[in-house]
């Protein structure tokens, strides 16, 4: 469905048997998704479903998580679960290295698939997933990538304002996504710090969100990229002593868009004092918008068409029933939080499955972000040269162009 439609409450098709849901992965994202599955039907009209199976490698831990998170049972073999006739939906919250194998197998088995971002660890895997999703969709099987910040009501409202022309022609967008959980060089190694399991560091982990917001808010496409990656701590303590960090701690990118707008991206996991700070600034010739994830119920809007003596940013408290998603929650003036974005995500996915409507963002949207990520890596490896994406298709690599071309 078009993004604008997915933001509003819709009635699903009644009379269907409950959809059986299995989720693979039970750590950070698994907990967030489980919370959404547990609560979505209490606040939104969605097709009937059951939380049937939680899957993980450690039998004892996954059984404990299943009991705490509201799943009927647990399992350790995702292949067996995918083959079950009582499972219609697979929610993938496993590390990126597993996304492609699980998602393509699930789609081939006729299961609807929701997968966490980024789509995959490599561009080739992302391409394969997009092809599998297109083939499955021709058979009525739906798939979606979980860019949950599209489901922040304030950001959904920002997209509406931009699409209505309230900002006029957007010239510039700045996105800074900063965290500090790797500031301490003694912080231990995790799978997120190894390229073979994570694909990339801050680039894939949080720049993917920032890039998706650029594309989502502006409904635009990236034409060329320049970027830089940096690893501040090259080795960290692990199970076998000091181990090499093979991904980036921070990334910077400049994106040129088809409309002529320029977007700047800065992301870091070593920004001291920043826990989960995503700030967006969108500047047009008729107005501008500011957003800060640490105040996710608010949007600052400036209408530059007013006389200069009346101009100034005004705060929009995004919790009126007429705002995206908010009709399902509390009376106006009562705020919601980060976890609600996943509830909105599950709601939109269930409605899409129930109505047979392609959900958004699609695997193709995830592939688009993946191509930009790959172009940033290519640019960084070439010393920051611009990388054109115009002809960056499945069988081709990005083409570098001289600075200033």
Do the domain assignments include residue 352?
A: no
Task: Say whether 135 sits in a helix, a strand or coil.
Answer: helix
At which of 109, 133, 149 does a domain end? 149
Are the CB atoms for 171 and 164 separated by under 8 Å? Answer: no
* Contacts of residue 276, Cβ cutoff 8 Å, sequence gap at least 6: 179, 293, 294, 338
Domain CATH for 317: 3.30.360.10
Task: Say whether 198 sits in a helix, a strand or coil.
Answer: helix
Please report the pLDDT score of residue 17 as a whole number: 87
Distance of alpha carbon 198 from alpha carbon 201, whole angstroms: 7
Edge-to-edge strand ranges of the sheet holding 277-284: 314-317, 298-303, 287-292, 277-284, 170-178, 262-268, 250-257, 222-230, 386-388, 399-401
Assess whether 188 and 137 both reside in one domain. no
> pTM here?
0.92
At which of 275, 307, 336 does a domain end? 336
Please report the pLDDT score of residue 120 as a whole number: 95
Do the domain assignments include residue 171?
A: yes
Assess whether 186 and 50 both reside in one domain. no
Domain CATH for 36: 3.40.50.720
Assess whether 186 and 280 both reside in one domain. yes
Assess whether 100 and 165 both reside in one domain. no
Distance of alpha carbon 51 from alpha carbon 97, whole angstroms: 25
Assess whether 183 and 128 both reside in one domain. no
Do the domain assignments include residue 214?
A: yes
Query: What domain range is 139 assigned to?
Result: 3-149
Please report the pLDDT score of residue 14 as a whole number: 52
Distance of alpha carbon 302 from alpha carbon 298, whole angstroms: 13
For the chain, how many structural domains are there in total?
2
The helix or strand, by DSSP H or E, that contains position 113, with its residue range, turns out to be strand 112-116
Per-residue pLDDT of the chain (405 residues; tens, 9 = 90+): 333 443 444 444 455 689 999 999 999 999 999 999 999 999 999 999 999 999 999 999 999 999 999 999 999 999 999 999 999 999 999 999 999 999 999 999 999 999 999 999 999 999 999 999 999 999 999 999 999 999 999 999 999 999 999 999 999 999 999 999 999 999 999 999 999 999 999 999 999 999 999 999 999 999 999 999 999 999 999 999 999 999 999 999 999 999 999 999 999 999 999 999 999 999 999 999 999 999 999 999 999 999 999 999 999 999 999 999 999 999 999 999 999 999 999 999 999 999 999 999 999 999 999 999 999 999 999 999 999 997 555 444 444 433 333
Assess whether 226 and 176 both reside in one domain. yes
The helix or strand, by DSSP H or E, that contains position 386, with its residue range, turns out to be strand 386-388
* 378 DSSP assignment: H
Assess whether 135 and 238 both reside in one domain. no
Q: Where are the beta strands (DSSP E) in 189-297?
A: 222-230, 235-238, 241-244, 250-257, 262-268, 277-284, 287-292
Do the domain assignments include residue 360?
A: no
């Amino acid at each position: 469905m078009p993004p604008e439609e997915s933001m509003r409450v819709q009635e699903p098709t009644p009379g269907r048997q409950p959809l059986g849901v299995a989720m693979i992965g039970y750590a950070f994202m698994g907990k967030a998704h489980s919370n959404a599955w547990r609560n979505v039907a209490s606040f939104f009209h969605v097709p009937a479903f059951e939380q049937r199976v939680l899957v993980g490698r450690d039998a004892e831990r996954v059984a404990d998580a299943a009991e705490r998170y509201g799943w009927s049972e647990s399992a350790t073999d995702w292949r067996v679960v995918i083959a079950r006739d009582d499972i219609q939906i697979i929610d993938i919250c496993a590390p990126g290295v597993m996304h492609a194998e699980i998602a393509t197998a699930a789609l081939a088995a006729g299961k609807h698939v929701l997968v966490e971002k980024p789509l995959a660890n490599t561009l080739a895997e992302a391409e394969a997933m997009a092809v599998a999703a297109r083939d499955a969709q021709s058979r009525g099987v739906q798939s979606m990538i979980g860019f949950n910040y599209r489901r922040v009501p304030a950001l959904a409202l920002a997209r509406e304002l931009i699409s209505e022309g309230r900002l006029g022609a957007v010239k510039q967008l700045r996105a800074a996504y900063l965290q500090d959980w790797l500031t301490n060089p003694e912080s231990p190694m995790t799978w997120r710090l190894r390229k073979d399991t994570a694909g990339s560091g801050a680039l894939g982990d949080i720049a993917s969100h920032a890039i998706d917001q650029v594309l989502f808010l502006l409904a635009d496409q990236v034409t060329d990229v320049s970027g830089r990656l940096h690893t501040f701590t090259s080795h960290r303590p692990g199970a076998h002593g000091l181990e090499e960090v093979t991904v980036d701690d921070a990334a910077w990118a400049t994106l040129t868009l088809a409309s002529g707008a320029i977007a700047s991206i800065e992301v870091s996991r070593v920004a001291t004092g920043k826990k989960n700070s995503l700030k967006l600034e969108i500047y047009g010739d008729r107005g501008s918008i500011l957003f800060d994830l640490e105040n996710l119920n608010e949007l600052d809007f400036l209408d530059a068409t007013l006389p200069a003596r009346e101009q100034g940013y005004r705060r929009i408290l995004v919790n009126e029933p007429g705002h995206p998603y908010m009709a399902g929650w509390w009376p106006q003036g009562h705020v919601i939080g980060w976890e609600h974005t996943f509830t909105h995500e599950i709601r939109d996915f269930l409605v899409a499955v129930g109505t047979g409507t392609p959900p958004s963002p699609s695997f193709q949207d995830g592939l688009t972000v993946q191509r930009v990520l790959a172009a940033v890596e290519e640019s960084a490896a070439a010393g920051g040269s611009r990388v054109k994406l115009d002809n960056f298709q499945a069988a081709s690599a990005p083409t570098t162009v001289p600075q200033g071309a």
